[in-house]
Amino acid sequence: MAFYSKEERSKIAVGFFSLLVAAVIMRLFYLQVISHAAYTQVAEENYIRVVPREAPRGLLYDRNGKLLVSNRPSYSIYFIPYQIRNPEEAFRDLSLRLSLPLATPSQLLRGRSKSKYQPIRLLRDVHFKTICVLEENSLDLPGIIYQVERARKYPPRGRGSHLLGYVAEISEAELTRFSRLGYRSGDLMGKKGVERQYDYLLRGQPGVSYLKVTAQGRILGPAGSREPVFPKPGADIKLTVDWELQSVAESLIASRGSGAAVAVDPKSGEILALVSQPNFDPNLFTGVLLDTVWQRLASDSLHPLLNRCLQGTYPPGSTFKILTAAAGLESGRVTTRTLFRTCRGGLAFGNRVFKCWRPQGHGQLTLMDAIAQSCDIYFYQLGEEIGLDLWSGYARRCLFGQLTGIDLPSELSGIIPSRAYFDEEYGEGKWPSTLIVNLAIGQGEILVTPLQMAVFFAAIANGGEILKPHLIREIKYPDGRLVGAQAELLGRLPFSPNTLNLIKAALVKAVNGERGTGRAAILASATVAGKTGTAQNPHGEDHAWFCCFAPAEDPRIAIAIVVENAGHGGSVAAPVAREMMATYFGGRLPLPAQEGVLMIEGENFW
């Protein structure tokens, strides 16, 4: 057995302790130098609170500079995961104290940042009384904080709700789809209307600030070790809408039930008013939306969330006789003096008798009088003369059955039946040729939106240019840059200037003629050109239509109106158009319009 001498044992001890000291020094070097940044971050996360700062969302104005949508101060409640030992129990306690339903912690944490030090929004836009209760119980609710933020403020009574839209917290599905664009869980996002379409301009870029806090969550002040990131505001948008006109149209349609009204500037395609009734209150979505409120909106039989202007599809009724007449004139199948069989209230086609809206009949009429008096019997025969292929071809070239491309989401295209359409529906060649008889007066399988009708009448008014409807007049960026919108030409009506002049003359006669069906739209200050329509509705009473433009000599506005289940267009929809035009022309016409005279084939039509 070997024994170490005292000197040898001393050397071993010194060596051992030297190794131990070296190991400690190396560990300290690793902790203090190599891992300094990581441990500093961990230490800071224990006393630094990261506070997200939402960017001020851009404001919305009408064409005259009236503020429509702004931001107001509001309170949001957050929780900080690392300060709550038992989240489920803490949430139950908080829910009881605030008397508010809360999501579960697992629901709130799903898809969020994994940092337990990052505050997560629990409730948005809560009442000040709720904040008072929270403040009174702050010692019993560690990890629960509140913060002053901005919430959207929309016009009262739901005015412009389908046009303006609303914002709400981004959904999981939307987050999956748009996270690459910088959206984070908990962000606000436009859901409908302009708020949705131009969310990328309005939202801005969020920032963040850093606060020193105690272990109990008491704020000590800014964390000097980290520089705050200031949010960048969103762009302000001036819309093309005239809010006075919009408000008047909202009231007029609402007083008559459900329906829609679209007003367009024929020279630019700018939307002057876009009304859908019933509407909804976008302010409901800025805070805590109760399930009962959402269910009431979603299950309402009148569908208040539906934008009838571009999602409501209807048979256009007699307003579409204008396209039938223009197709007949342009193709040479008729002239303004063409006579068909006399209207005696009904006429047989095949084994069916098609009736006129006027049971006693209109007698024998020319095309111009048939338009003015809206004689169904004349247009049944004109449709038969034109034929389905020619009629549907002209309708498609007028861009019916297609999207207008308006800068709003979820537009529908409607339906323009064709030979291929009927072959698919009924089987090749197994459908009656008399279907065109009904289509010629805007009935049957044809479906259009009020927006499409407004664009069509605007094109007639301006001489044939089909302009893309749009809602943006001007964008003001945070750096002061101003960007204006330009008119965009979608195409031209397939009608010659002579055909369009004849159609304009007939439309003036339909309103101002002694027997015109649109006399309820007569204005003293301007000559109105328009057409009534009464569209049969298999689900209830007839829909009332009226489409027009004015002044006929120099059009400034084109309007399409539909009132659901209301009856005749001449008695229900035409007065709405008259009041809208009277509102819009107030102060805009320097002198009362002089009665014009258009000479066509030796006759005075207006």
Domains and CATH numbers, the chain: 53-205 (3.90.1310.10), 243-282+307-590 (3.40.710.10)
Stronger pLDDT, 133 or 383, i.e. the higher one: 383
What is the reported pTM?
0.85
Pick from 220, 202, 186, 26: which is nearest to 109 by CA? 186
Q: Is residue 148 exposed (0-12), middle (13-18) or buried (19+ Cβ within 10 Å)?
A: exposed
Mean pLDDT, the chain, as a whole number?
87
Q: Which of 394, 384, 386, 367 is nearest to 328 (CA)?
A: 386
* Number of other CB atoms surrounding residue 533 within 10 Å: 33
b/e per residue, 183-221, with b = 16+ CB within 10 A? bebbbbbbbbbbbbbbbebbbbebeebbbbbeeebeeee
Q: What pLDDT is recorded for position 19?
A: 79
Q: What is the pLDDT of residue 30?
A: 64
**Residues 340-344, mean pLDDT to the nearest whole number:** 96
Interval 202-218: pLDDT, tens? 999 888 777 776 655 56
pLDDT at 270 over 60: yes
Q: Mean of the pLDDT values across residues 574-578?
A: 97
Please give the angle made by the CA atoms of 559, 565 and 569, to the nearest 5 degrees.
40
Beta strand 482-484 with 472-476 is antiparallel
Q: What residue type is assigned to position 251 of the chain? A: S
**3-class SS shares of the chain: helix, strand, coil, % to 5:** 40, 20, 40
- Whether 469 has a pLDDT exceeding 90, the answer reads yes
What count of other Cβ atoms lies within 10 Å of the Cβ of residue 65?
A: 8
Q: What phi-psi label fits residue 387: left (phi over 0), alpha (psi between -120 and 50 degrees) or beta?
A: left
Beta strands at 352-355 and 144-153: parallel, antiparallel or unpaired: unpaired
**What pLDDT, on the 0 to 100 scale, is given for residue 231?**
85
Give Cβ neighbours of residue 1 (< 8 Å, ≥ 6 apart). Answer: none
Cβ atoms of 585 and 525 closer than 8 Å: yes
Q: Which helix (H) or strand (E) holds 64?
A: none
What is the CB neighbour count within 10 angstroms for residue 164?
Answer: 24
Pick from 209, 208, 212: which is nearest to 223 by CA? Answer: 212
User: Residue 245's pLDDT is what?
Assistant: 98
Strand order in the sheet with 557-563: 271-277, 259-264, 557-563, 543-550, 529-535
Q: Is pLDDT larger for residue 371 or for residue 222?
A: 371
The owner of tokens 């008798």 is 353
Nearest by Cα to 543 from 319, 304, 358, 265: 319
- What percent of the chain is modeled with pLDDT above 90? 61
Per-residue pLDDT reduced to its tens digit, 229-245:
888 999 999 999 999 99
Query: Does position 533 have pLDDT exceeding 50, yes or no?
Result: yes
Q: Between 296 and 252, where is the model more confident?
A: 252
In this predicted structure, the answer to whether residue 601 has a pLDDT above a threshold of 60 is: no
Task: Check pLDDT > 60 for residue 604.
Answer: no
Question: Does the pLDDT value for residue 106 go beyond 70?
Answer: no
140 has a pLDDT exceeding 80: no
Could you tell me which of 135, 152, 137 has the C-alpha nearest to residue 189?
Answer: 152
The residues pairing with 194 across neighbouring beta strands, listed in sequence order, are none
User: Which secondary-structure segment (H or E) carries 219?
Assistant: strand 219-222
According to DSSP, the β-strands at 259-264 and 271-277 are antiparallel
* Cis check: omega of the bond before 551, within 30 degrees of 0: yes
Question: Which residues, in sequence order, are bridge partners of residue 584?
Answer: none
pLDDT for the residue 91: 75
Average pLDDT over residues 490-503: 98
Helical spans, DSSP H, in 142-219 = 161-164, 172-178, 193-197, 199-202
pLDDT confidence of residue 90: 76
CA gap 365, 458 in Å, rounded: 27
CB atoms within 10 A of CB 434: 16
Instruction: Pick the more confident residue, 181 or 60.
Output: 60
Alpha carbons 432 and 423: distance in angstroms, whole number: 11
Residue 220 CA to residue 473 CA, distance in Å, equals 47
Contacts of 550 (CB under 8 A, 6+ apart): 523, 526, 527, 528, 529, 556, 557, 581, 585
Between these two residues, 90 and 118, which has the higher pLDDT value?
90
In the numeric block, which tokens belong to residue 416? 């323009």
Rounded to 5 degrees, what are φ and ψ at 349?
-125, 115
Query: Could you tell me the pLDDT band of residue 41, with boundaries at 50, 70 and 90?
Result: low
Mean pLDDT of 268-280: 97
Q: What backbone phi and psi angles, to 5 degrees, belong to 105?
A: -55, -40
- What is the three-class DSSP state of 424? helix
In this predicted structure, the answer to whether residue 18 has a pLDDT above a threshold of 80 is no
Given this model, what pLDDT does residue 129 score? 84
Higher pLDDT, 93 or 477: 477
CA dist 390 → 43, 215, 315 (Å): 78, 80, 19
Give the pLDDT score at 77: 83
For residues 453-458, give the mean pLDDT: 98
Task: Reply yes or no on whether the pLDDT at 43 is more than 60.
Answer: no
Q: Which residues lie closer than 8 Å to 169 by C-beta, 6 or more apart?
A: 121, 124, 186, 187, 188, 189
The pLDDT-based confidence of 600 (bands split at 50, 70, 90) is: very low
Instruction: Indicate the burial class of 424 (C-beta count within 10 angstroms; 0-12, 13-18, 19 or more).
Output: exposed
Which of 20-24, 357-361, 503-507 tops mean pLDDT?
A: 503-507
Q: Are 134 and 142 in contact (CB under 8 A)?
A: no
- Determine the average pLDDT of the residues in 284-298: 78
Q: Is the pLDDT of residue 562 over 60?
A: yes
Instruction: Give the pairing type, strands 352-355 and 465-467.
Output: unpaired
- Over residues 432-440, mean pLDDT: 94
Q: Check whether 1 has a pLDDT greater than 60.
A: no
Q: 3-class DSSP state for residue 121?
A: strand
User: Where are the strands (E) in 80-184, listed by range?
Assistant: 120-126, 144-153, 167-169
Residue 380 corresponds to which tokens in the numbers above?
Answer: 């049944």
Q: What is the per-residue pLDDT for 595?
A: 41
Q: Which of 75-79, 223-227, 471-475 has the lowest mean pLDDT?
A: 223-227
Question: Residue 598 has what pLDDT?
Answer: 41
Q: Check pLDDT > 70 for residue 390.
A: yes
Strand partners, 233: none
Smallest CA-to-CA distance from 373 within 361, 386, 385, 355 is with 361
Tell me, what's the pLDDT at 588? 64
- Greater model confidence, 350 or 571: 571
Residue 246 has pLDDT above 80, yes or no: yes
What mean pLDDT comes out for the span 272-295? 86
